[in-house]
Each structure stands twice: as C-alpha cells, then as structure tokens.
Amino acid sequence: MDKTSEEASSKGKKRQREQQPTETQTNQLHHQILSLEDNLSFTDTLVALRMMRAQFPRIDKVSIQPFVLRSQLYSSVKDRTQVDRELESLRREKVVRIFKLNTGQDDHAIMFLDDYLNQMENVVKRFEEKKEGDLDVFKWFRTHVINSKLEPSIEHQELYTLLSLGGMVKDGHISLLINGGLLTRQLIDPNMYWFAIPNIGSVLKGLSQGRKEVLSSLNRRRYKEMMLASMEKKRLRFSPLDMRFHLRDLIGSGHLKTVQTSTGLLVRVSKD
C-alpha cells in the first residue's frame, strides 16, 4: 500500500469480483499492477475507503491529508444503498467524518477522523507561528464540537452553545475558525456553518477543472469513448489529482460508464 507502487502504474485487467489487491502487492517485484482496472470494485466500504486513501495522489504544493469522494465509493462498491448505510454507521462510530463540498451538486468528501485531526493540528501550528489571536477556540472546537456534532453542518446557535462549554466565546473566535478553513458558509442557508477541510481550496479547484478536462477529452473523440488503459496513461494539465481519482469520481457520479469488451474495459461518456 505504499505510494511508489502507484507511480509506476502499469495496466492490468479488471477482475470482476472481490480479489483483494493486497495479493497482487506481493508480486510487485515482478510487475507493478496496481492499476485502476484491478481495483475497480471492492466488497466493503471500509476496505474501499482504506484502499483509496492509500492511493490518494501526493500533491507537492499543498499539505493535505487523503480524502475520498462519495462518488468514488459508489463506483467501487456495487450496492449503493449498502455504501450509504455503511458510511452512516462509520460516521456514527466516529471513524470517518463527512464534509459537504461546494463543487457541484451533492459532492461529499470522506476523511478518516485521525487524518482530519492531523490536518487541524497543522492549521493550529500555522496560526501559532503567526501568533494571531486567541488560539483556545481551536481546542474548544476540537473537544466540544467535533466530538459531539457528527453532521456536516452546524447551526449558529448550536455552535455558540457548544463552544461556550469551553469558555467565553466572542465573534472573533468564529472568524478565526473560518479563517483557518475549519468552518465555511454556503449559499444554501445563511444561518448554517458547514465543516470544511482546511487548505483544501486549491485541490477543489483542481477537482472541478480536472473533471471538465477528462469529460472534454472524451467528448472530443468521435465516438466519445476510450480504453481505460490508455486513459490512465494521460496526464492532466489542470489538476494536481491523478487520472485514477477523477475516473473513479466520474464513473460513480454517472457521467462516465464502463463497458467490458474483449480487449479490456472501455470508458464511455453516458448520455442521459
């Protein structure tokens, strides 16, 4: 599950059922088959989450912990209802946290709680270096809000009540949280704060541009389709995330569909 094996990604064939990719890793001396076709389907949501977290591309400019998009899970596990329900139980057990992203309809990012707390620590460290303002609010946020509020959004009143369990809350504290990237507001409801992953801005921009790029590269072709193997070889100009990330996301959200052919998997733009 280390990153070096992904970099040398060569293409293999998709195995229809649940062969664990861990078995192939023992053969990685011979061929580095950790491609998308191998890992397209998993049995279980947690297994899929862990594998995709391990395959998260390393971005040099921004230090960000791995996250998985919900649409990627839909493309990996066959039964979507099972994915939703397992995610819900994982969320309730505080193993993962779900964030609503503002890139398009119904985009959700899933991050393991430990990764999220690490990301928060990085933010706090950055603030400490700059010595801006009262940093107690981050501690209160971590102990009171994150532990008890498991939904992706929180109302203004509730945020105040929960933070007040730590100490006297002022408006400046909430601005600090927003500046740190931990909370954000979306157009849906002016009264509601949404939890967010800090430092994720450039990655989200890359996400939407990458999606457009992948779809346009397929749409430009005459028959709007391409072999999965050759798609994976392409490099994306506008996105720091790799092709595999985008392919999983687009297949899961229904923009692309895969067709099994005698020479391998074919990716086609779905017209619906």
Partner 1 sequence: MWKEIGDRERGILRPKSFTTRIKSNRIRTLQISNHKDIVSPHRASINSLQVDLTEGRYLLSGAADASAAVYDVQRATEYEGGGLIAKHKCLFVVDKQHEHGHKYAISSAIWYPVDTGLFITGSHDHHINVWDTNTTQVVMNFKMPGKVYRTAMSSLATSHMLIAAGTEDVQVRLCDIASGAFSHTLSGHRDGVMTVEWSTSSEWVLVTGGCDGAIRFWDIRRAGCFLVLDQSHSQLGRRPTIPEHSATNKALTSKSLSSGQNLNAKPRAQQRKLANGNGTKQSPVGKMPAKGSLRQRLHPGMLSSLDRATAHYGAVTGLKATEDGMYLLSAGSDSRLRLWDVASGCNTLVNFETVRLQGSKPIQLATSQDSALVFVPCMTAVKAFDVWSGNTSQTFRGHYEYVNSCWFSSQEQELYTGGNDKQILVWSPSRLIADEDEGPAQDRDNWSD
* Smallest gap from residue 92 Cβ to partner 1 (A): 5
Task: Pick the stretch among 53-61, 130-138, 149-157, 233-241 that binds partner 1 (CB under 8 A).
Answer: 149-157
* Smallest gap from residue 28 Cβ to partner 1 (A): 35
Contact 75, 40 (CB under 8 A): yes
Distances from the Cα of 106 to the Cαs of 40, 101, 109, in angstroms? 22, 8, 10
As to burial, measured by CB atoms within 10 angstroms (0-12 exposed, 13-18 middle, 19+ buried), residue 163 is: buried
Q: State which of residues 118, 143, 148, 216 lies at the interface with partner 1 (CB under 8 A).
A: 148
Residue 219 touches partner 1, criterion: CB under 8 A:
no
Instruction: Quote the CA–CA distance of 236 and 228 in Å, as a whole number.
Output: 15
Angle at 210 between CA 205 and CA 211, to 5 degrees: 105
Residue 267 touches partner 1, criterion: CB under 8 A:
no
Of 36 and 251, CB closest to partner 1: 251
By CB under 8 A, the residues from 237 to 266 that bind partner 1 are 253-255
Instruction: Quote the CA–CA distance of 215 and 224 in Å, as a whole number.
Output: 9
Q: State which of residues 58, 92, 126, 139 lies at the interface with partner 1 (CB under 8 A).
A: 92
Of 38 and 136, CB closest to partner 1: 136
Number of residues near partner 1 (by CB under 8 A)? 37
Mask for 169-188, x = binds partner 1 (CB under 8 A): --x----------------x
Q: What are phi and psi of 258, to 5 degrees?
A: -105, 140
Angle at 188 between CA 182 and CA 190, to 5 degrees: 70
Residue 81 touches partner 1, criterion: CB under 8 A:
yes
Instruction: Quote the CA–CA distance of 72 and 147 in Å, as a whole number.
Output: 26
Q: What are phi and psi of 271, to 5 degrees?
A: -100, 105
Contact 67, 100 (CB under 8 A): no
Of 65 and 258, CB closest to partner 1: 258
Residue 156 touches partner 1, criterion: CB under 8 A:
yes
Residue 79 touches partner 1, criterion: CB under 8 A:
yes
Of 38 and 158, CB closest to partner 1: 158
Enumerate binding residues for partner 1 (CB under 8 A): 74, 79-81, 83-85, 88-89, 92, 100, 105-106, 148-153, 155-158, 160-161, 164, 171, 188-192, 253-255, 270, 272
